[in-house]
């Protein structure tokens, strides 16, 4: 069989960055994350991944995933039969990395992305893929049919929406799933200004400001503030690099936050 062509919109195509990053990281001698499924997917796609580039962009995507994975593990440890909802699932492979054989997973993304996911990844009784926009209520029924409690994960998704659209998406979560948990990344206005060319549209300088949206901040960290077990796997060179970048991030950058909803 030939490789699968990639025909996605400009914003949707950004989903290939974290996929490529995890595949490249897996091949390292001391990887921060291991993702054989990402390697498999990269090999299955007819796409020139050299267009993505490397260096800090790929490392940043890896670190983002490491931070969010740690919080997902905590949720599954506390609620092994709960439901993890991936908002803008892309070609994410968190199910393959973290599934505990009892949790339910709901992957939500736009129709073209879900079509690609279904070609490459399998649904099951505990894993459902839903085509739709996170700003429209059609996806909520699929989540309501799954057992609670609920953990929503937004990884490099909401930053591509307008503030009004982000409010709408969060409002759907708060309205239908009060008491759930939301993991999401935000970027400062300074970062958003630099990233306009790649369609970053929404910025948030302080995640605590989202309290007015029905979100209570539980944890927040910068991109380079890794969980202890991940920091222990850093090579000496990466340890120096992340230390420098962590100090720079204090001046404004990406943040990763865990919120109680409603």
Rounded Cα distance, 104 and 125, in Å: 8
pLDDT tens for 117-170 read 999 999 999 999 999 999 999 999 999 999 999 999 999 999 999 999 999 999
What is the chain's length? Answer: 262
Q: At what angle do helices 56-78 and 236-249 cross, to 10 degrees?
A: 90
At 105 the pLDDT is 98
Contacts of residue 22, Cβ cutoff 8 Å, sequence gap at least 6: 33, 35, 38, 61, 62, 65, 93
Rounded Cα distance, 111 and 223, in Å: 30
Rounded Cα distance, 208 and 230, in Å: 26
Q: What is the mean pLDDT of residues 192-217?
A: 85
Rounded Cα distance, 140 and 222, in Å: 30
Count of CB atoms situated within 10 Å of the CB of 123: 12
The domain that holds 215 is classified in CATH as 3.40.50.150
> Domain containing 127: what range?
4-261
What's the whole-number average pLDDT of the chain? 90
Rounded Cα distance, 134 and 226, in Å: 28
Query: What single string gives the DSSP state of each residue in 133-160?
Result: -TTSGGGHHHHHTS-SSEEEEESS-GGG
Alpha-carbon Rg of the chain, whole angstroms?
17
Higher pLDDT, 9 or 230: 230
- Cis, peptide link before residue 149, omega less than 30° from 0: yes
- In this structure, are strands 150-154 and 83-87 parallel, antiparallel, or unpaired? parallel
pLDDT tens for 54-87 read 777 788 899 999 999 999 999 999 999 999 999 9
Rounded Cα distance, 200 and 32, in Å: 26
Rounded Cα distance, 217 and 67, in Å: 16
pLDDT tens for 11-53 read 778 889 999 999 999 999 999 999 999 999 999 999 999 888 7
In 155-196, alpha helices (H): 163-176, 189-194
Rounded Cα distance, 22 and 34, in Å: 7
- Looking at the 3D structure of the chain, how many domains does it have? 1
């Amino acid at each position: 069989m030939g490789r699968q062509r990639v025909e996605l919109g400009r914003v949707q195509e950004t989903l290939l960055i974290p996929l490529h990053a995890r595949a490249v990281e897996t091949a390292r001698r001391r990887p921060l994350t291991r993702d054989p499924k990402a390697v498999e997917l990269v090999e299955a796609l007819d796409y020139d991944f050299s267009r993505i580039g490397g260096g800090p962009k790929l490392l940043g995507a890896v670190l983002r995933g490491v931070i969010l994975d740690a919080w997902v593990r905590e949720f599954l440890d506390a609620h092994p039969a709960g439901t993890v909802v991936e908002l803008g699932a892309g070609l994410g492979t968190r199910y393959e990395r973290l599934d505990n054989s009892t949790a339910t997973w709901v992957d939500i993304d736009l129709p073209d992305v879900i079509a690609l996911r279904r070609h490459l990844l399998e649904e099951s009784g505990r894993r459902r893929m839903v085509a739709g926009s996170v700003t429209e209520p059609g996806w909520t029924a699929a989540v309501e049919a799954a057992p609670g409690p609920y953990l929503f994960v937004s990884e490099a998704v909401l930053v591509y929406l307008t503030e009004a659209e982000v409010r709408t998406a969060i409002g759907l979560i708060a309205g239908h799933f009060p008491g759930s948990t939301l993991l999401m990344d935000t970027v400062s206005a300074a970062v958003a200004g630099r990233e306009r060319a790649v369609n970053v549209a929404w910025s948030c300088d302080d995640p605590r400001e989202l309290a007015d949206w029905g979100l209570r901040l539980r944890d927040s960290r910068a991109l380079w503030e890794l969980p202890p077990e991940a920091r222990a796997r850093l090579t000496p060179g990466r340890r120096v690099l992340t230390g420098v970048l962590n100090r720079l991030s204090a001046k404004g950058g990406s943040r990763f936050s865990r919120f109680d909803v409603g």
